[in-house]
């Protein structure tokens, strides 16, 4: 009986004893990568967002992102997910680390570590709706004007995450690179300026 039960759990992973009962939970945390794609409009930053639809977190506002694949670096995951969801192409060397969260959703038996990255949108970039089963469409919004509820850890707003990340980036200095690559210093300076305005 127990061997059948363990096999049936499949991707859910392991067992977690809660109040004397067993419930399926993730065997280990999953890693997600989320991308703040930023463009400049009249000297202000706008971020690419979409309203989720479907069964998971329907109605919440999100930024492009998804799961980190085995062997993939954060920036490669951000670039891949962005292209899959929006059709926009941004080289992985153009992403910078913004923030990370460690979130346990006990009621759902889920544990996620999410890596937040940021990159400048290519000039004139217009996102496409590539996954209509997952979101309603992509919009450009100022961080302070992104509607609620947002797909962020409870009590955290996109604008707060950006602020915290920019503060960290400024502490690191312009020479610090997201993946040790050849990030364009001018792009990073512009990104920092936009996100801090």
CATH number at residue 68: 3.90.79.10
Would 40 be classed as within a structural domain? yes
Name which residue leads in pLDDT, 20 or 137. Answer: 137
The H-or-E segment that residue 101 falls in is strand 96-105
**Within 10 A of 176 (CB to CB), how many other CB atoms are there?**
14
**Domain range spanning residue 122?**
28-196
* Tally of structural domains, the chain: 1
Q: What is the 3-state secondary structure (H, E, C) of 52-88?
A: ECCCCCCCCEECCEEECCCCCCHHHHHHHHHHHHHCC
**Mean pLDDT throughout 118-141?**
91
7 assigned to some structural domain: no
Q: pLDDT tens digits for 19-74?
A: 333 345 667 899 999 998 988 888 888 889 998 887 666 777 888 999 999 999 99
Looking at the domain assignment, is residue 12 inside a domain?
A: no
pLDDT, position 158: 53
Q: Is the pLDDT of residue 193 over 80?
A: no
Share of the chain above pLDDT 90, in %: 23
Query: Which pLDDT score is estimated for 40?
Result: 86
Residue 160 forms part of a structural domain = yes
**pLDDT the model gives residue 79:** 97
4, part of any domain: no
The answer to whether position 145 is within a domain reads yes
Residue 16 lies in a domain: no
């Amino acid at each position: 009986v127990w061997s059948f039960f363990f096999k049936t759990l499949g991707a859910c992973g392991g067992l977690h004893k809660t109040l004397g009962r067993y419930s399926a939970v993730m065997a280990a945390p999953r890693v997600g990568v989320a991308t703040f794609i930023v463009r400049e409009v009249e000297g202000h930053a706008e971020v690419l967002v979409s309203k989720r639809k479907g069964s998971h977190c329907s109605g919440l506002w999100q930024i492009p992102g998804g799961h980190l694949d085995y062997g993939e670096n954060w920036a490669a995951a951000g670039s891949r997910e962005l292209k899959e969801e929006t059709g926009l192409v941004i080289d992985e060397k153009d992403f910078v680390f913004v923030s990370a969260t460690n979130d346990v959703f006990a009621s759902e038996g889920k544990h996620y570590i999410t890596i937040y990255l940021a990159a400048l949108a290519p000039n004139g970039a217009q996102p496409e709706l590539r996954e209509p089963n997952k979101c309603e469409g992509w919009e450009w919004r100022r961080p302070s004007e992104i509607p609620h509820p947002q797909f962020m850890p409870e009590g955290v707003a996109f604008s707060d995450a950006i602020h915290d990340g920019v503060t960290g980036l400024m502490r690191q200095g312009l020479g610090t690179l997201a993946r040790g690559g050849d990030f364009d210093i001018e792009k990073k300076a512009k990104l920092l300026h936009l996100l801090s305005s």
